[in-house]
Every structure is written in C-alpha cells, then in structure tokens.
Amino acid sequence: MKRFFLLTIVLCIAFSAYGTGQSEKEDGNIKLVFLHYMLDKEVGALPELIAEYEEQHPGVTIAVEGIGVDRYTDVYKTRLVANEQLDIFFVMTADLKSFAEAGRLAPLDTTTAAAHMLPEVLDSGSIDGTAYALSSAGNGLGMFVNTKILAECGIESIPENWQEFTQACEIIKEHGYLPWIMGNKSRTWSAYHAFENNMFAENLPTSDLEQRVVNNEVSISQIWLPQMEKIQTIIDNGYIEPEESAAITWNDEGFTKFVNGDGAFMYGIASHIQLLQDAADPDFEFVFVASPLQDAPVPAQAHLLVDRFIGINENSEYKEEALRFLEFLFERENLGKLALSQGTYTTLKGGISSDNPIGKSFAQTIAAGNVFLWPQFRNVSLNDWRDGLSKLILGVVTPEQMADEFEKNYQNKLLLSQ
C-alpha cells in the first residue's frame, strides 16, 4: 500500500512539473515517441502500418523503441517520472490505476476504437468506468483438434461441451489413440490452463469472486472441486498420460506427438498455430477451437489472454496526434493485419482475426459473443493451485483432499494480503 501511494505522489509531482518543452520538434515537424515491449518477430506488421501512417500524414514521424518485457516496467516508469518524451506506450495493467489517478493517461472513451472494442476487453483497460488503455492483441487459449483422427473414429462433429468431449475421448481411446496430449508452455501446463480457465467461464461474472469468498458467500473449494473431479475423470479413464502431463516446463515432445498424429486433442494457444504448421507434414489436418470443457448448456467459451494495452500520455504536447495514430492503428483492417502478423486475435467486436482457416472456428466463437477474459481479481494462490494439480495428476491426493488443502491455503493467504 505504501508503494502505491509513493508511486502516485511521485507521478503527481512529475505531472505538475511537466512542461511543454519536453517533446521534440524538428523544423516544424511532429515526432511521436512510441515505447513497447515487443521484440523481433513479435512486432509483426507494426513497422508497415507506421510507415503507412507517416505517408498519409506528412510531417509526422513515429519513433518506435522496443524494450524487453523483463526491463520494460522500470524503463517506462523512469521515463515518465523524468519527464522524458513518451507520447504512446504500452501500459502494464498493474500500473493502470496509479497512472490514471496521477493524470498520466488520456481518457479514451470517446475514441472510435473504444466504441468498436469488445466490452470485456474495454473493461480490462478501464478504471471506475473510464477507459485509459486499449488492448491491441488477444491470444486465444483453446483446443487443437486432429480432424483426421475424429473422422477415422466416426466422430462427426467437434465436441462443444464436457459431455461430448468425454464421449469423444472414449471412442478415440477404443481406436488405439491417446485422446488428450498435454503440451506444456512456459512453466505452466495445459491441464492447469484448461480447467482453471474453465472454472472462470462457468462462474461468470468472476470479477467479484474473491470478494464473495472473503464474505463467506461462496467456498473457493466448492468452485474449484468440479474442475478437480474432471481432471480425475480423464486420469481414471486413461485419456491422458499422467506423468508427462504433470510437467511444468515446456514439452516439445507433446507438440511432436500431436503433429505425428498420436493424439486427437491438445490444449494450447493460438500463436502455436504457425509453430504446429511448420512442424507438421503438408497433409496433417487440424483446427483450433474454443475449449469444449464447460458443462452443458454453457456453450464453448473463447478465452482471450488480452495484453499489449496501449495508452496515450495525457500530458503529451502532441496528444491529439497520438490519439489520431491510435485511431488509425485500431481501424478494423489495420488491427486485423496486425493480428494476422502476430498470430493473435483482434480485440474488436465481431471476432476479426487472422485469415488462417485453422483458427476460424475460434474467431467465430468470439464473433458470437461467447468470450471471456482472465478475471481481474487478485488470486493469491496460483502456485498452490499448480502444485496441487501436479499432485492430483500423479495420484498423490484426491480431488477432495486437494480442495480442502487449497481452501486453507487460499484463506490464509487472503488474510496475509489484507
């Protein structure tokens, strides 16, 4: 709490001291400084779009600088406090409230970009109902499906809920295939993502979930227990290989198994599409769909991991020009081009995204409005959840034991965090 007030005070002092002479002018031209945390191929079509904007707006130059995400927070906070020119920048959501209260971020509610954005995404960049940052990228979290295996097994449609999924897994197992390959990513594992995110989807709205737990209106173990029981079901029925699935490091073997046709389903993210295409033979057929793990009648939900929030410095000398560039970048066609180049989905209404047919179903789910985001509440026990899942999947604990243990850890950490 002290750190929050200190940051707010520092930013407020810097705001009051900020002068109009900090931005660069060269021969009457405008130079905008744009800071982000994308490196190498992550930038995608951004340079191309910037060049197009500069061509359409003679006299305007956009100076872009990419800082590695591990250093980004320190760099952009330092530049803001030091009154260095910074007109457009990626905003870390953890800093959104303090920056907004300190007058560092321009309100974006009246922009066309905000009007076209998915409501859930717009809310993620808002404080007290006012939008201060707009997400330019949504990475989909869902299921990869080997459509050839489904056809061979006589499964006519891709599962859309938990019941259909488990029925399909049983048929696939009977045909000698592994139903579910657990590909792992970046110190997490797909069962963790699949079932934790599923819990969020089935308990919408989730933004007040933590408060409901604190108020003893709902037990966190009762909410998570059904997902643990689902994990136990896939273990008991032989739909996964437990020891491989318990890993929490990147597992290239999982990808190899999937593209070799050893399994029918694999949980992953949309940006894996290109990686799998590059690794697979030309005749390999697969699609990327929304998670089918919700209980009916809840439809499959497209889970978006939104990031790359863009904000405008409220105190920029060239704020109006910066806002014009933001509007340009978030035009439907331009943001779609950026999504295509980065392997992500756009954050606008309508599910516009990559034109890659593999991800078309996921995009259609977004367009239908069946979309949810990672809840914004403070979850103090993610590590306990990951560790508990590893024990569960290895048979060390039962779902009920894990639920009780998780409840105790969660409540203790909530008390410590208050």
pLDDT (tens, 9 = 90+) of the chain, 418 residues, equals 444 344 444 444 444 444 433 444 444 589 999 999 988 878 889 999 999 999 999 999 999 999 988 889 899 988 888 888 999 999 988 888 899 999 999 999 999 999 999 887 898 899 999 999 999 988 888 899 999 999 999 999 999 989 999 999 999 999 999 999 875 543 445 566 666 666 655 554 444 565 666 677 777 777 778 888 888 898 899 998 876 665 544 456 778 888 999 999 988 888 788 788 888 998 999 999 998 888 877 777 888 888 899 999 999 999 999 999 999 999 988 998 888 788 788 888 875 555 678 988 888 888 787 887 765 444 455 566 667 777 777 788 898 988 888 778 777 766 655 5
> How deeply is 10 buried, as exposed, middle or buried, from its count of CB atoms within 10 A (0-12, 13-18, 19+)?
middle
Place of tokens 């998570």: 224
d(CA 27, CA 59): 9
Q: Give yes or no for a contact between 136 and 308, defined as CB atoms under 8 angstroms apart.
A: yes
- Straight-line distance from the first to the last Cα atom of the chain, in angstroms, rounded to the nearest whole number: 10
d(CA 371, CA 298): 12
Which residue from 343, 361, 375 is spatially nearest to 197, judged by alpha carbons?
Answer: 375
Residue 332 three-state SS:
helix
- CATH architecture label of 2-136+307-357: 3-Layer(aba) Sandwich (3.40)
CA dist 341 to 9, 336, 353, Å?
A: 40, 9, 10
Where along the chain do its domains lie?
A: 2-136+307-357, 140-303+376-417
Q: What angle, 0 to 180 degrees and rounded to 10, lies between the N-to-C axes of helices 252-259 and 272-279?
A: 60
d(CA 85, CA 116): 29
Confirm whether 2-136+307-357 and 140-303+376-417 share one CATH topology.
yes
d(CA 163, CA 168): 9
Q: Which long-range contacts (CB under 8 A, 24 or more apart) does 296-299 make?
A: 296/161, 296/162, 296/163, 296/164, 297/161, 298/161, 298/201, 298/202, 299/160, 299/161, 299/368, 299/370
* pLDDT at residue 247, as a whole number: 52
Q: Where are the alpha helices (DSSP H) in 203-348?
A: 209-214, 220-236, 242-245, 252-259, 272-279, 319-329, 332-342
CATH of domain 140-303+376-417: 3.40.190.10
d(CA 267, CA 144): 6
Q: What is the pTM for the complete model shown?
A: 0.74
d(CA 353, CA 357): 10
